[in-house]
């Protein structure tokens, strides 16, 4: 199995909402997240990721249902731990759910989930989603205590937060890669699938090849940014070509 790519298409909805948030039923509302999903798959995306946020700043419930109904590829729903989102996940029934921390003020998902600090709630939500047939991932910082707690919460997968890695420069990158390596090894030993995401781009993705046991990368911003130059299908294809060098 090659390293899989989940393409996060939230920012297609961000662009549409910039103009049409107050005219959701306008026939002019564009671009379409559903069409973006098709384009990403044509470029070789292995799955689609959407984050329905509490403030609905980009993806709307209608987008999630449209993508779920019309596209057969695996869907990964990112969600904060709330009753409302749990209700949406149980109706939508995506193949995968990734639990993420969410505050209203942040620009994007900042930091990982505190599984240790919210253990009972996290464990309960993981179990409810799993009993409805979904595989559950926890988005955590590459911190051994959080990895251990994710294993104890019976998560199927962890998604290691690569934000610190992608923000590091020069000599500081090495230390961040080492944190990811240690976390990936620990998660793999605990029997969880190891994914990674946040801030991964065309320039830094190959540095992640030092991290063992990676099954999937989740990438949004850089691919959507590149799509403004070459189109989404080509942007995804370029990323897949880079990822093909991952030593499995
Ligand atoms: N993984 C998770 C859990 C995220 O919240 C995000 C951001 O939405 C991503 C991956 C993708 O990050 P980026 O847009 O920086 O590629």
Domains of the chain: which residue ranges?
4-243
Q: How far is the CA of 220 from the centre of ligand 1 (A)?
A: 6
How open is the CA angle 96-236-241, to the nearest 5 degrees? 105
Per-residue pLDDT of 77-112, as tens digits, reads 999 999 999 999 999 999 999 999 977 556 666 689
Which residue matches tokens 């999903």? Answer: 37
Give yes or no: 69 in active site.
no
Which residue has 């993508």 as its token pair?
67
Q: Is 51 in the pocket of ligand 1 (CB under 6 A)?
A: yes
With a 6 Å cutoff on the Cβ, whether 196 touches ligand 1 is no
Atom of ligand 1 nearest to the CA of 198: 12
Q: How far is the CA of 100 from the centre of ligand 1 (A)?
A: 10
The confidence score (pLDDT) of residue 110 equals 67
The pLDDT tens digits of the residues spanning 5-17 come to 999 999 999 999 9
- Provide the 3-class DSSP secondary structure of residue 98: strand
Looking at residue 24, its pLDDT comes to 87
Q: Quick check: pTM over 0.85?
A: yes
Give the ligand 1 atom nearest the CA of 224. Answer: 14
Q: Does the Cβ of 219 fall within 6 Å of ligand 1?
A: yes
- Rounded to 10°, the helix 221-230/232-243 angle is 120
Which of the following is catalytic: 11, 58, 161, 198? 198
109, 142, 214: residue to mutate for ligand 1 pocket, most atoms within 8 A of CB: 109
**Is 221 considered catalytic here?**
no
Contacting residues for 233 by C-beta, under 8 A, at least 6 apart: 39, 40, 42, 43
Q: Which residues of the chain, if any, have pLDDT below 50? A: none
DSSP state of 2: P
22 in active site: no
Q: If you measure from the C-alpha of residue 178 to the centroid of ligand 1, how many angstroms do you get, rounded to a whole number?
A: 21
From the candidates 11, 58, 78, 161, which is the catalytic residue?
78
Looking at domain 4-243, which of 3.40.30.10, 3.40.50.2300, 3.40.190.10, 3.20.20.70 is its CATH number? 3.20.20.70
CA of 55 to the centre of ligand 1 (A): 17
For ligand 1, say whether the CB of 197 is within 6 Å of any of its atoms.
yes
- pLDDT at site 107: 62
């Amino acid at each position: 199995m090659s390293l899989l790519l989940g393409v996060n298409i939230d920012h297609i909805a961000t662009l549409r909402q910039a103009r049409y948030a107050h005219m959701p039923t306008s026939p002019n509302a564009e671009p379409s997240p559903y069409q973006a999903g098709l384009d990403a798959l044509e470029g070789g995306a292995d799955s689609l990721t959407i984050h329905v946020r509490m403030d609905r700043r980009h993806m709307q419930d209608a987008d999630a249902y449209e993508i779920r109904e019309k596209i057969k590829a695996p869907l990964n729903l990112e969600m904060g731990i709330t009753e409302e989102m749990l209700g949406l996940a149980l109706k939508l029934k995506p193949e995968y759910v990734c639990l993420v921390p969410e505050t209203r003020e942040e620009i994007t998902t900042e930091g990982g989930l505190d599984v240790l600090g919210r253990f009972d709630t996290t464990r309960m939500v993981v179990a409810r989603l799993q009993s409805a047939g979904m595989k559950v991932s926890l988005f955590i910082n590459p911190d051994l205590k959080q990895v251990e707690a994710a294993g104890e919460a019976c998560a199927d997968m962890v998604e290691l937060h690569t934000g610190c890695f992608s923000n590091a420069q020069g000599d500081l990158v090495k230390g961040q890669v080492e944190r990811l390596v240690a976390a990936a090894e620990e998660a793999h030993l605990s029997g969880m699938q190891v994914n990674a995401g946040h801030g991964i781009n065309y320039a830094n993705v190959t540095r992640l090849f030092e991290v063992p046991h990676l099954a999937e990368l989740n990438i949004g911003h850089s691919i959507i940014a590149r799509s403004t130059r070459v189109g989404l299908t080509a942007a995804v294809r370029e990323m897949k070509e880079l990822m093909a060098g991952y030593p499995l």
